[in-house]
Amino acid sequence: MIALIDYGAGNLTSVRKALAAVSAEVFTPSSAAELAPAAGVIVPGVGNFDATRAIDNEWRTAILRGVDRGVPLFGICLGMQYLFEGSDEAPGVPGLGLLRGHCELLPSTVKVPHVGWNALTITRPSTLLDSAEPAVASAFRRKDEPQVYFTHSYAAPVTADCVATSEHGARFAAAVERGNVFGVQFHPEKSSDAGLRILRAFVTRCSRND
Amino acid sequence: MLSKRLIACLDVRDGAVVKGVRFEGLTGAGDPASLARRYNAEGIDELVILDVTATIERRRALADTVRAVAAELFIPLTVGGGIRAEEDAEAALDAGADKVALNSAALADPALVTRLASRYGSQAVVVAIDAKRNGDRFDVYARSGQAQTPREAVEWAVEAAERGAGEILLTSIDRDGTRSGFDCGLTSAVSSAVSIPVIASGGAGTFEHFHEVFTDGRADAALAASVFHFSEHAVAELKAFLSERGVPMRLPPKGGSHGDRK
């Protein structure tokens, strides 16, 4: 069973629907203690980084303990930003700090928020993306990059943990992976077939821990 | 590079897709779920379900229709029509919509935009503006184009963005249903004034009209209904047409239509 954490940042109907479509068994824990048996943890979320405040110390500890035990953790959109140390959007609110770096506002030279379908430039092999678009992942071609759906104003920096970038005014981390910690800035649940493949890759990765 | 979006609009009344000419004279065009399925397979970027009579008849958007369309689609889905209060938005989002479009309700109670943005995030809040040319200005209309308001479209778009709207869905009443082309002047004026994406609507008739609105009109997305409804491969052909002319598009993969691959 995969734990989908509902901390009130947006409506989770679409995420649930997409996870069901890839045959994932999902539950929404009502307390941090319920996280313990999860084979995987998903932190979704949209909106302001400040919303992650709702994930209190008890939840943070439970999430981090799971990561230490090898349980796969997947952050989606705001949930991916939460994997980092923090964000300029809510300077006083710490992220999980599992990944080094700080999220910043996208440049004002382009329309912000960044809304719509954009190309993923895959920068290295990864668990999440290799199955998303096998031909692209293996060939690293510049053209025919998979397109996924974004909607965000802040973005994470391109670091060694980055497995795919995208560009809107500047290059930013579109997907990250470090050990059993995974994240995507885009919405796989809204990214049609490419998105479902990514969700399926995470679910498959979790089944190794079941 | 961010792709320009093509959005198919399903104007729905009593669970069936209809398409009006200047908001009147409705003719049937199909079942929402099967149309949505077809569009998704063709590679449409987004869907909008508009309950065209909802505000007039004081009904909420049909949750069953939303649920049926959302059941098998994994692209963004917006619901408009009859979103008057937070409960209406909640019902639409719980039924599977990703965004709600507010029109008359936002005009009557602009604070509703902020309340919904705080609760669901700006990405879930689209403010729909129906505008009509009046000399140099663009008058805003409420209630499906029936009631003129004192507002001006560019100013209202700026205010809506400040209040937390994530996107503007801008419809030209003059062009809606005429197939004579988008109002690029209107679209460009609004798009230049706000930082949030602007979806152009009203007047699509030819592929060239889309090219115009993405270039001259500075639109981030274009919405149409009948152009897509009545032709089998319109979406894929239109995307190829625009891509050849340098408009960034999300294209179907080579060697098969988009929805075929699992």
Q: What is the side-by-side order of every strand in the sheet holding A102-105?
A: A86-87, A102-105, A154-155
- How far apart, in whole angstroms, are the C-alpha atoms of residue B223 and residue B103? 16
Contact status, residue B182 vs residue B151, Cβ threshold 8 Å: no
Check CB contact under 8 Å for A113 and B196.
yes
Query: What ipTM score was computed for the predicted complex, to two decimals?
Result: 0.89
Check CB contact under 8 Å for B98 and A116.
no
Parallel, antiparallel or unpaired: strands A26-27 and A2-4: parallel
pLDDT score of B160 = 98
What is the total count of domains within chain A? 1
Distances (CA, A) of A112 to A133, A152, A154, A190, B163: 28, 8, 9, 19, 15
**Does the pLDDT at position B256 exceed 90?**
no
Closest-CA residue of A relative to B122 is: A47
A167 at interface of B, judged by CB pairs closer than 8 A: yes
Comparing C-alpha atoms, which of A45, A43, A39 is closest to residue A2? A39
pLDDT tens string B89-101: 988 898 899 999 9
Confidence of residue B199 (pLDDT cuts 50, 70, 90): very high
pLDDT tens string B136-162: 899 999 988 889 999 999 999 999 999
Task: Spell out the SS3 assignment of chain A.
Answer: CEEECCCCCCCCHHHHHHHHHCCCCEECCCCHHHHCCCCEEEECCCCCHHHHHHCCHHHHHHHHHHHHCCCCEEEECHHHHCCCCEECCCCCCCCCCCCCCEEEECCCCCCCCEEEEEECEECCCCHHHHCCCHHHHHHCCCCCCCEEEEEECEECCCCCCEEEEEECCCEEEEEEEECCEEEECCCHHHCHHHHHHHHHHHHHHHHCCC
Least confident of B26-30, B70-74, B145-149, B213-217: B26-30
Comparing C-alpha atoms, which of B88, B108, B110, B109 is closest to residue B97? B88
pLDDT score of B65 = 87
pLDDT score of A209 = 65
**Does the pLDDT at position B62 exceed 80?**
no
Least confident of A37-46, B17-26, B125-134: B17-26
Contact status, residue B83 vs residue B102, Cβ threshold 8 Å: yes
- How far apart, in whole angstroms, are the C-alpha atoms of residue A8 and residue B255? 42
**CATH number of the CATH domain containing A122:** 3.40.50.880
SS3 B83: coil
Taking an 8 Å Cβ-Cβ cutoff, which residues of chain B contact chain A? 1-5, 40, 45, 70-72, 74-76, 93-96, 98, 120-124, 166-167, 195-197, 220-221, 250, 253-254, 258-259, 261-262
Question: Which residues numbered 86-105 in A keep a CB inside 8 Å of some CB on B?
Answer: none
Confidence of residue B226 (pLDDT cuts 50, 70, 90): confident
**Does the pLDDT at position B195 exceed 90?**
yes
Contact status, residue A198 vs residue A129, Cβ threshold 8 Å: yes
- For testing contact with chain A, the best of B6, B40, B98 (most A CBs within 10 A): B98
Contact status, residue B41 vs residue B75, Cβ threshold 8 Å: no
Contact status, residue A128 vs residue A177, Cβ threshold 8 Å: yes
SS3 content of chain B, % helix, strand, coil (to 5): 35, 25, 35
- How far apart, in whole angstroms, are the C-alpha atoms of residue A163 and residue B106? 41
- How far apart, in whole angstroms, are the C-alpha atoms of residue B152 and residue B134? 10
Residue ranges, chain A, pLDDT below 70? 131-143, 209-210
| Residue B151 Cα to chain centre, angstroms | 21
Q: Which domain holds residue A60?
A: 2-207
The domain segmentation of chain B, as residue ranges, is: 5-257
- How far apart, in whole angstroms, are the C-alpha atoms of residue A194 and residue A172? 19
**Does the pLDDT at position B254 exceed 90?**
no
How many residues would you count in chain A? 210
Give bridge partners of residue B45 from the DSSP assignment.
Answer: none
- How far apart, in whole angstroms, are the C-alpha atoms of residue A79 and residue B124? 17
pLDDT score of B19 = 63
Confidence of residue B72 (pLDDT cuts 50, 70, 90): confident
Comparing C-alpha atoms, which of B223, B224, B150, B158 is closest to residue B191? B158
With pLDDT > 90 as the criterion, what percentage of chain B qualifies? 58
Check CB contact under 8 Å for B2 and A193.
no
pTM given for the model? 0.92
pLDDT tens string B26-42: 444 567 888 888 888 88
Domain at B5-257, CATH homologous superfamily: Aldolase class I (3.20.20.70)
Gap from B107 CA to chain A (nearest CA, Å): 23
With pLDDT > 70 as the criterion, what percentage of chain B qualifies? 87
Which of B1, B120, B221 has the CB atom closest to A167's CB atom?
A: B1
pLDDT score of B223 = 96
pLDDT score of A170 = 96
